[in-house]
Structure 1
Amino acid sequence: MAMTSLQPLAYAVAYVTFFIGTTSMGLRAYCRIRFLKTWGWDDMWALAILIFSIGQQIILHMFLYWGCGLHMDTLSPVQQFNVGLWLFIEELMYYTVHFIIKMSLLTFYLRLSRSPTLRKLIFLGMSFNVAIFLTNLLSAIFQCVPFDEILHPGTHPNAVCINRLALLVAPSVLNIIEDIYILVLPISTVWNLQMTLRRRVAVLSVIAFGASAVIVACFRLIPLFELYASPDVSWILGKMVIVAALEIQLAIVASNLPAMKALWLHLTRSSTNGSGEPSGSKGYKLSSMERKAAGSRYGSNKRGSITMLERGILSTESEEELTRMASKVAREDSNRDSYREGAAGTA
């Protein structure tokens, strides 16, 4: 017997993934404030992600409410009109959510890197992101002239519209290309850091989690081609709800994972620390040491200073290593000051 409804599965996937993604947002904010004690522009973008993720969830719910996941011939004319209306709204929201998630990741990289080359590549990625967003947004808004042809297809014989296949596939392909660019951007920097191979692989694994969202985005191309070829729009949009929920929420979790590692390490240390002292206390001492090292007179020197990338991503990876680095910075600062005082006395 053929399946007659995708709605139960679509509702389950949409709400479970939304819960996971929203929870990761809360954990990110908690870790930033409680453990890492940092708050940057990438976190402001993350707040925007939360707002637009809620909007995205409302749209997916409205899709299902008006009949997506059911066959088109079972829907009333009012339902069919609202399916088309919410499809247009979803296009705009989908592009916006992707734009904000990418800006959050790129701003995170920018905040952690002092390499001129990498910063140029990050700014280049931001420029691509803005260009892709504006291209997708404008093509969606002006896909047909007159505009009413978008909401009532076939009612305007003289309407001029962008090729439907290009309109469906091109934005997704551009987003996938930008996602891949963002994924590979920090690999060489992390790989060249002075740390063990195991730690390099661990950090890269956190960053590479975003590949799961890219893989889902590639699978999204399948229902897009079906949407172009089949008149059963509402049924295929039921599949799109499932894929879109997975893709967006996986991307949100990937953008939050670097900050969430602090909570994971805190919990694992708490389970292995038999003393009465809270395991997280070392992290607070470390943060204080890092601030002193960074704020010292010569702390900004590239040689002997703790780089932003090491203190950002890797501060949750190895507190012991950073403690040794901070001590080394303090000793070097002390030696420099002693040398300068001796030289001044001799003069």
Structure 2
Amino acid sequence: MAVELVILSAVFVSITVVSIAIRLFTRTVILKNIGVDDYLICVGAIFAIVSSVTPIAALQFGLGRPTAEQRPEQVAPYQKLLLTSSVTYSVSALFIKLSLLSFFLRLSNGPAFSATVYAVIVIVISFGIGSVAAVLLQCLPLSALWDTEAAKGAKCIKLVEFYYANAAISLAADLVILLLPIKILWGLHMPLRQRIGLCALFGLGGLATVAGIIRLSSLKTLLSSTNPTVNIVTPLNWSFIELNVAIFIAGAPALKAFLRQYLPTLLGSSYSPTGATKYGSTNKTGTKSRPTKHNSIPLGSMHDKNDSKWVKNTAVISGGAAETGNRDRDSDNDSQENILQNYHGILQEVTVSVRSERKSEEEGRSVSSAKVDY
């Protein structure tokens, strides 16, 4: 069991380090748009690494071996290391949830959704603080965990039952967070395949929830265990699997952008996640469309060189992944990338028809139409 713990810890900690490095590089270098959610996930990753590494240090103090073989002088460092792992687990889970919720605020499409997210943030923070407090106050005094003299008059809670309640509430919060963005993503003006793809990407967070459920079920072996130093190894394994998987999945949009920038053929597209506009695409008529820029262009009254008057319009056009005319085969991926990388709201496609008329021609002649993102 000791070997299994070391291997799992090393693998998942390595995945977390690489995931965070790619996320920060993508946000700062490629997208040049780092946000609060990135800082929060970094804090969560630091505590997740500590939570994953401390059980390895506890191996030399009896973890993974029969409790009867644990020497008295090993009890104090053993308990302190497990206490550290438990506290850092709760802190890491708190910051991971806050990072996801902070990201959802950037996707917010209205006050109702924002209010819901803020309400969940308050609940998550309260639960996180309560979890840490419960671990640190599981015994009064806390030294009763490793000091037999202090344990004589100490008052302690049943920690395993607390872990059950804690895990159940945490899983409920995970499910709420998992379902929060689905309504926004499903309501986007895009093909069904794109919406399903986006929901599936966000739904990957369910893998961390599954790990949490397995961790919860593994705790029952501790309820009546006479060999806790052995039986606690499996819950410890699933605890850091849960944290590190959640961190990796939270960085999936950044990883996708990173791969599109440096390994576009791997994802079957040459689209650049920096948002570079594609120039000269061909529309239905076979003519080249005019390139667009990211800057908004208000349409107003215009005159051509023959002084023919154009009708005043009030639309605002902005470029980005959308192009004039039909998109090429990469368009589905473009829309997904815009949604995942834009930090000022979800992009939606709207068709705007701009009509014009000349004095010498019949009224109502249509001269251009374009798809726009806003």
Provide TM-score, normalisation by structure 1.
0.78
Q: Corresponding residue for 2:214?
A: 219
Deviations 1:289-321 (A, max 9, x none): 77524xx679xx9997899xx9996417799xx
- 1:267 to partner: Cα distance: 5.0
How far the C-alpha of 1:236 sits from its partner, in A, is 1.7
Report the alpha carbon displacement of residue 79 of structure 1 after superposing the two structures with TM.
2.4
Q: What secondary structure sits across from 2:188 in the alignment?
A: coil
Distance in 1 between the 2:230 and 2:133 partners? 27
Flag structure 1 segments of 5+ consecutive residues without an equivalent: 1-5, 336-347
**Match of 2:163?**
168
Counterpart amino acid of 1:292?
A: N
Partner of 1:339: none
**Pair 1:66–1:158, CA change in 2 (3 A):** closer
Alignment of 1:120-131 (within 5 A): 120-131=115-126
- Secondary structure at 1:283 match in 2: coil
- Per the alignment, residue 113 of structure 2 pairs with 118
1:280 is aligned, of 249, 252, 272, to: 272
> Match of 2:308?
none
Match of 1:31 among 10, 15, 26: 26
Equivalent residue pairs, number: 315
Q: Which amino acid letter does the alignment assign opposite residue 315 of structure 1?
A: N
Alignment of 1:292 onto 2:295: yes
Q: Is 210-219 or 40-49 further displaced after alignment?
A: 40-49
Pick from 74, 77, 83: which aligns with 1:79?
Answer: 74
CA distance 1:163–1:324, shift in 2 (3 Å): closer
Q: Structure 1 residues 60, 196: CA separation in 2 closer, same or farther (over 3 Å shift)?
A: farther
2:37 is matched with: 42
After superposition, where does 1:263-274 map in structure 2 within 5 Å? 263-267=258-262, 269-270=264-265
Paired-residue identity, %: 21
Partner of 2:11: 16
Shift of 1:272: 8.6
User: Cα 1:289–1:233, aligned 2, differ >3 Å: closer, same or farther?
Assistant: farther
RMSD of aligned Cα (Å) = 3.7
Match of 2:140 in 1: 145
In the alignment, does 2:252 pair up with 1:257? yes
Find the residue that maps to 1:42 and give its secondary structure. helix
More helix by share: 1
Give 1:247's aligned residue. 242
Map of 1:210 onto structure 2:
205
Q: Distance in 2 between matches of 1:175 and 1:212?
A: 14
Given the superposition, is the C-alpha separation of residues 317 and 109 from structure 1 closer, same or farther in structure 2, using an over 3 Å criterion?
A: closer
Q: Is the 8 A contact 2:41 2:96 kept in 1?
A: yes
Q: Give the number of the structure whose residues are more often strand, by fraction.
A: 2
Q: Secondary structure at the match of 2:259?
A: helix
Structure of higher RCO (CA pairs closer than 8 Å, 6+ residues apart): 1
Q: Which amino acid aligns with 1:230?
A: S
Q: Which residue of 2 aligns with 1:93?
A: 88
C-alpha change, 1:137 and 1:306, in structure 2 (3 Å) is farther
The answer on 1:69 being equivalent to 2:64 is: yes
Match of 1:315 in 2: 338
Whole-angstrom distance in 2 between the partners of 1:148 and 1:253? 36
Per-residue CA distance 1:24-83 (angstroms, 9 max, x = gap): 111111222333331111111122123223322331322334332222222222223322
Deviation at 1:22, TM superposition (A): 1.5
Per the TM alignment, residue 273 of structure 1 is displaced from its structure 2 partner at its CA by: 8.7
Confirm whether residue 235 of structure 1 aligns to residue 213 of structure 2.
no
Q: Which runs of 5+ in 2 are unaligned?
A: 279-290, 300-313, 321-332, 357-374
Whole-Å separation in 2 of the counterparts to 1:36 and 1:169: 41
Q: Do the aligned partners of 1:99 and 1:133 also contact (CA within 8 Å) in 2?
A: yes
2:21 matches 1:7: no
Displacement, 1:252? 0.6
Residues 108-165 of structure 1, C-alpha deviations (whole Å, 9 max, x = no match): 1112213211111110110111110111111112222222223336853332222334
* Contact 1:35 1:284 (C-alpha < 8 Å) held by counterparts: no
1:209 touches 1:254 (CA, 8 Å); kept in 2?
A: yes
> TM-score scaled by structure 2?
0.73
**Separation of aligned partners in 2, 1:7 and 1:75:** 15
Q: Secondary structure at the match of 1:68?
A: coil
In the TM superposition, 1:174-193 aligns within 5 A as 174-193=169-188
Separation (CA, whole Å) in 2 of partners of 1:79 and 1:163:
22
Does residue 106 of the first structure (1) align with residue 101 of the second (2)? yes
Q: Does the CA-based 8 Å contact 2:13-2:52 persist in structure 1?
A: yes
Q: Any conservation in 2 of the 1:68–1:238 contact (CA below 8 Å)?
A: yes
Which amino acid is the alignment partner of residue 161 of structure 1? C
Aligned CA distance change for structure 1 residues 222 and 270 (closer, same or farther; 3 Å): closer
For residues 165 and 271 of structure 1, the distance between their equivalents in structure 2, rounded to whole angstroms, comes to 46
